[in-house]
C-alpha cells in the first residue's frame, strides 16, 4: 500500500447537494452516472482497499489509473490517480483523490480533497482547480435536476507547459 501520510492536501472543494448519501455515493462510484457528468468518463472501481480504479474514455483508452486506498461506503472513497492519457501527463507523480460525504441538514456535504506527495507547482494544480468545480457542479445539477451541465474544457495551458518542464 502507498504511504498516505506523505500526501498533503493541496486543493479542497466543498459542495452541498440536495440528495441522499446513497445517491451521491452511487454517482461517484458507478459509470452509469460518471459518464454523464465526468466528461464522459466511465469509472471502474474494485470496491475494496487495494482494489483497482480507473477512469476510461469513451473510446476505451484509460485516462486515469490507480488503486483504492480507502473504501467506506456512503462516507469515504480515496484512490490514487496516475494520469495515463494524454501521454505527456504520465510524467506526473500519482496524486490522491478523496471524497468524503456527510449529511448536512436535508443536503449532503461532499468534500473533494486532492493531495500530493511532492512540492507540486501551482501551474500543475491549476488543472484540478479548474476541473473539479466544473465536474462537481455538473454532478450537483445531475442529481438535483436530472440534467448535467454542458461543460467541456481542456487542461490549462500553464499546466501543459509545466508538465513539459518536468523531468
Partner 1 sequence: MTEKPKFVYVTYIASTPEKVWDALTKPDISEKYWFGYRVAAEGKPGDLMTATSPAGKLSHRDPIIESDPPRRLVYGWKPLEKDKPDERPSRVTFELEPFKGQTRLTVIHDEFDEGSKIYAMISKGWPAVLSSLKSFLETGRALESSWSEEDRKSTASAETHA
Chain contacts with partner 1 (rule: CB under 8 A): 13-18, 103-107, 109, 129-130, 133-134, 137-138, 140-141, 144-145, 147, 149-152
Cβ 148 to partner 1 shortest distance, Å: 9
CB of 119 to partner 1, least distance (A): 14
- Per 3-state DSSP, the chain is made up of helix, strand and coil in percentages (nearest 5) of 35, 35, 30
Sheet of 42-45: strand order equals 8-17, 107-116, 95-104, 76-83, 62-72, 52-56, 42-45
In whole angstroms, how close is the CB of 136 to partner 1 at the nearest point?
9
**Residue 54: CB minimum distance to partner 1, A:** 26
**Smallest separation (angstroms) from partner 1 to the CB of 108:** 10
Q: How far is CA 164 from CA 11, 91, 121, in A?
A: 22, 9, 13
Identify which of residues 1 and 150 has a Cβ nearer to partner 1 in the complex.
150
Q: Which is nearer to partner 1, 4 or 21 (CB)?
A: 21
φ, ψ (nearest 5 deg) of residue 166: -75, 145
How would you classify the pairing of strands 8-17 and 76-83? unpaired
**Longest distance between any two alpha carbons in the chain, whole Å:** 48
Continuous segment of H or E residues that includes residue 26: helix 21-29
**Alpha-carbon span 3 to 78, nearest angstrom:** 13
Q: Of 47 and 121, which CB lies nearer to partner 1 in the complex structure? A: 121
Amino acid at each position: 500500500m502507498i504511504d498516505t501520510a506523505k500526501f498533503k492536501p493541496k486543493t479542497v472543494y466543498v459542495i452541498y447537494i440536495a440528495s441522499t448519501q446513497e445517491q451521491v455515493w452511487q454517482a461517484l462510484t458507478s459509470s452509469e452516472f460518471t459518464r454523464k457528468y465526468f466528461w464522459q468518463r466511465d469509472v471502474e472501481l474494485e470496491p475494496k482497499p487495494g482494489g483497482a480504479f480507473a477512469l476510461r474514455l469513451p473510446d476505451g483508452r484509460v485516462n486515469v489509473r490507480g488503486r483504492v486506498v480507502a473504501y467506506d461506503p456512503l462516507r469515504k472513497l480515496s484512490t490514487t490517480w496516475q494520469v495515463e492519457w494524454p501521454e505527456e501527463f504520465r510524467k506526473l507523480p500519482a496524486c490522491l483523490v478523496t471524497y468524503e460525504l456527510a449529511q448536512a441538514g436535508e443536503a449532503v456535504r461532499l468534500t473533494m480533497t486532492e493531495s500530493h506527495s511532492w512540492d507540486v507547482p501551482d501551474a500543475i494544480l491549476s488543472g484540478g482547480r479548474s476541473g473539479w468545480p466544473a465536474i462537481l457542479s455538473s454532478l450537483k445539477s445531475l442529481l438535483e435536476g436530472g440534467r448535467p451541465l454542458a461543460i467541456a474544457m481542456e487542461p490549462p495551458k500553464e499546466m501543459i507547459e509545466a508538465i513539459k518542464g518536468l523531468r
